[in-house]
Amino acid sequence: MAQTQGRAGVQYIVEGGRQLSGSLSPSGNKNAALPIIAAALLTDQRVELHNVPRIRDVEALVELIGSIGATANWLGPNALEIEAKDLRPADLDPDLCARIRASILLAGPMLARCGEITLPPPGGDIIGRRRVDTHFLALEQLGAEIGVGKAYRFRASDLKGADVFLDEPSVTATENAMCAAVCATGRTILRNCASEPHVQDLARFLVAMGAHVEGIGTNTMTLHGGRPLSGCTHTIGPDHIEVGSLIGLAAVTNSSLTVQNAGVEHLRSTLMNFERLGIICRIDGDDLIIPGGQDMKIRPDFGGHIPKIEDQPWPAFPADTMSIAIVTATQCDGVVMMFEKMFESRLFFVDKLIAMGARIVLCDPHRAIVAGPSRLRSSRLESPDIRAGMAMLIAAMCAEGTSVINNAQQIERGYEHIDERLNALGASVERVPART
């Protein structure tokens, strides 16, 4: 059964305690592929994308753009062709939009091409409130009129460049504003914008289409709108969150892994924070080497104080790697404070780790104290979101015995064929239909 087919539930049956070895390449960045697929609607010419992760979220967005007139064909396992000659602002399937948060990324491109779009509220991970106000405020400043009811209604007869200060450095709001701005009349300055690797990748894609974008990789971008956009060929960069997941996996299973073409230029903060947990990686050209037999001793702050790992906007430690760091810390010697600032429900998965034997104190919705190392026991688990699901998979792989992970299709929204790829390294992850 292909991982991207259907909506049936999936279980992983995981035999823990296995040591892994070998090398693998990370998938294309999920959070780059989604806005780039949406941005392909900005031109009526053919766009060819490579290194596209074949995951559930991508498949859902491809289905969505097909429903409004775009043609999308897979040219190979990870190559996608998109041609959007005859777009129409049709009503989007509410059930399909509810499956992924990325449906909101259609707002900017569809405003630019069709002047309107009606979007049902987006879905995605249940990790607390995920506000969309920043999208609305940015697009309003570029000339859009927005109505909010059971659905979001966007209208714009004429997009015009503006000096826009985002009220928070939201990744998807930045991406929507970028797509609208490159088609607006005049110059747009985006201030306090996000600068994550996937935002940079979208900017490079827009440049390949003919847009003029300055300040890529910074928190202030200038976009000169009104230039004709053409088709292009673009390769999506590696997923730095997946690389962080592999670092944690290698460490807790005492495995030696090589991550090929790891996008090492985007790993500085990730590597620095894993070093605080006593996990040292080596960079060899474009590859990342994670040696076995790591020290795994948490490094106290100067004066012997308990250290803190906290997520912050890029280029600081990514919020999406926090769940991975928490389960990794359960296997490290010492005490560390984990401070998750962005989502008020993301840490609630730690009760599953506690049931497995982890020593964790959940101080409040944003902070947890982890004391390790703890011997984890196998358990029956439930994947609440993509990153917590991957963290549970990592926990199950270092636990004693056989664990069952329900709702594993959540993991597959962000990790391509993860069971097959891990099994090739020596893991034992059996993917089966959910049993009622």
> Known catalytic residues?
125
Six token digits for residue 246? 């592999």
Cβ atoms of residues 186 and 212 within 8 Å: no
Selection from 326, 330, 329 nearest residue 346 by Cα = 326
Phi then psi for residue 220, to 5 deg, are -135, 115
**Distance separating alpha carbons of residues 377 and 133, to the nearest angstrom:** 43
Phi/psi for 151 (5° steps) reads: -135, 165
In angstroms, the CA 78 to CA 27 distance is: 9
Q: Rounded to the nearest 5°, which phi and psi values hold at 67? A: -75, -15
For residue 313, cis peptide bond before it (omega within 30 degrees of 0): no
User: Can you tell me whether residue 94 is helix, strand or coil?
Assistant: helix
Whats the size of the chain, residue-wise?
A: 436
The Cα–Cα gap between 251 and 295 comes to 9
Can you tell me which residue has the tokens 């000659």? 85
CA distance 357 to 17: 15
CA 38/CA 52 separation, integer angstroms: 13
Retrieve residue 363's tokens: 């101080």
Q: What is the C-alpha separation between 400 and 254, in angstroms, rounded?
A: 14
Give 324-358 as a DSSP string.
HHHHHHTTSBEEEEEE--S-TTGGGGHHHHHHTT-
Q: From 125, 102, 35, 28, select the one nearest 323 (Cα to Cα).
A: 125
Within a 10 A sphere around the Cβ of 94, how many other Cβ atoms?
14
Tokens standing for 383?
Answer: 């994947």
Element (H, E) at 308: strand 308-310
Task: Provide the 8-state DSSP code for 377.
Answer: B
